[in-house]
Structure 1
Amino acid sequence: MMLLADIGNTRVKWAQAQGRILSGYGVTMHAGRPPMEVWRSVWADVPRPQRVVISNVAGAAVADSVRDYFQQQLHLTPEFVKPSPLAGGVTNGYADVAQLGADRWAAAVGAFSRYGGPVCVLGCGTALTMDTVNRDGRHLGGLIAPGLGTMQRALFAAAPTLPTDGAGQPVLFARDTRTALSSGVLYAAAGFIERVTAEVRDREGKEIKMLLTGGDAETLQPWLHDRFTLAPHLVLEGLAVLAELRT
């Protein structure tokens, strides 16, 4: 059994895997908490894995702490996935392949493995990301924009007198500042996604598969006019594929 972990800037998601079959999913917030405390709280009772395969975009200190945890507790050294020029039939489209986030790379590989191409992955987390893989498996590149929480925090930082708690169901004509903020941020994110995916469809064809993943995917999906498939475990699925290729 493998333990797969997707460590983002805010959350950590994990699953157990037998080959490409995943089970035992979990998710928790890690931002602002002592890393070692997080790992103990979520993995202490997980059955001992033979391998630990990780995507980490939260920085070197987090990587060091998770490495220390598994070495101390299980005498295992986790494997950190890094983008490569080619994996799982996907050719990395970045000029410098190392600049592509490990989570975006795993998601692209997972999407192509599951759906084939063309496929477009919209990541909805700390950042909004877009990555497209064509029918030949060529990663065309993508975009990065601020996510829902990041937009809100940027507004609060720039205008400290704004109320810091969102409120209620998003509406077009908000009648208080809290609702205006939460609604405006949601419309901004939805507008980014719809504009980007419209251009992707124009270039890659109407049959392209559109996937939503990330912690805010379910929040955003109802506000999108286009049809998207929720793929909440896409990074973990890609990690399973990449782990299989490393054996």
Structure 2
Amino acid sequence: MLLTIDIGNTNVVWGLFEGSTLRGHWRLATESRRTDNEYGILLLNLLNNAGFTPEQITGCILSSVVPALTGTFDSLVQTYFHRTPVIVGPDTDSGLALRYANPKEIGSDRIVNAAAAYARYRSDLIIVDFGTATTFCAVTKSAEYLGGVIAPGLGISADALFSRTAKLPKVEIIRPKTVIGTDTIGGIQSGLLFGYVGLVDGIVRRMERELGRTSTVIATGGLATVIAQETETIQEVRPFLTLEGLELLYHRNRLT
């Protein structure tokens, strides 16, 4: 079985594949001060509770946007699973030509998402990932990664509003009953959600105008479902796109 690990700024997401089938997935808070032993014990417990054993792991691949944790997870995999992980980077064979001024600046999660989306759709694409930051990536039908947009994530926006105001409360990010809020919480929820929907639709449309063509627009990430159903531009949500991309890239780049 293949262990896939996506190390993000807010969460570490783990996936376990048997063939191309996702058999299990888990999410832990990202904490750069945790050691390989701490994360290792947590993962072993999660696997055990789901009925899996370390001996079933035959390979591993990881992507990381937290440099301080990349070595930690490399060590974890080697110590607890006796495997050398494939670590996604700008030199990884993704099946895409990276038309970026400095490919080393591209977050590995963006490469993984782009590779997974292109492998599935084989069309002009815009991939929107709702993570700590919200990223928009443009991929052409001819398998070229062009670049994209990086915006503050919805969670960051909500936290900033709460921390920089004296009287506004922290709210749950859900769809309010009406756009016009009849109380403070409803007004904040409306501003966050519908304001962000406007940001997403506006950026996607500007990207398409600049590209000179329409694209298939795919969303992923923690808040993708909440946002996507309110937008006019997102066509499909794939919540496990990054894990699917890691599984794909492992087989393109597996160590011998």
How do 1:150-229 and structure 2 match up within 5 A?
150-166=156-172, 169-170=175-176, 171-202=178-209, 203-206=211-214, 208-229=215-236
- Against the structure 1 CA distance between its residues 164 and 39, is the aligned structure 2 distance closer, same or farther, given a 3 Å change threshold? farther
8 Å contact from structure 1 (residues 166, 181) kept in 2: no
Counterpart CA distance in 2 for 1:183 and 1:43 is 41
SS in 1 for 2:232: coil
Q: How many equivalent residue pairs?
A: 243
Counterpart CA distance in 2 for 1:148 and 1:167 is 9
Counterpart CA distance in 1 for 2:77 and 2:94 is 27
Counterpart CA distance in 2 for 1:139 and 1:22 is 27
Residue in structure 2 matched with residue 31 of structure 1 by the alignment: 30
Counterpart CA distance in 2 for 1:167 and 1:55 is 27
Length-normalised TM-score, structure 2: 0.85
Instruction: Structure 2: state its 5+ residue gaps.
Output: none
8 Å contact from structure 1 (residues 134, 204) kept in 2: no
How large is the Cα RMSD of the aligned pairs? 2.2
8 Å contact from structure 2 (residues 3, 17) kept in 1: yes
1:71 aligns to 2:70 (yes or no)? no
Residue in structure 1 matched with residue 11 of structure 2 by the alignment: 11
1:92 aligns to 2:92 (yes or no)? no
Length-normalised TM-score, structure 1: 0.88
Counterpart CA distance in 1 for 2:173 and 2:137 is 31
Amino acid at match of 1:7: I
1:57 aligns to 2:56 (yes or no)? no
- Cα deviation for residue 174 of structure 1 reads 1.0
- Cα deviation for residue 92 of structure 1 reads 1.1
8 Å contact from structure 1 (residues 118, 135) kept in 2: yes
Counterpart CA distance in 2 for 1:179 and 1:59 is 38
- Cα deviation for residue 40 of structure 1 reads 2.6
- Cα deviation for residue 237 of structure 1 reads 1.8
8 Å contact from structure 1 (residues 118, 204) kept in 2: no
- Cα deviation for residue 39 of structure 1 reads 4.3
Amino acid at match of 1:51: G
Identical columns (%): 28
Instruction: Structure 1: state its 5+ residue gaps.
Output: none
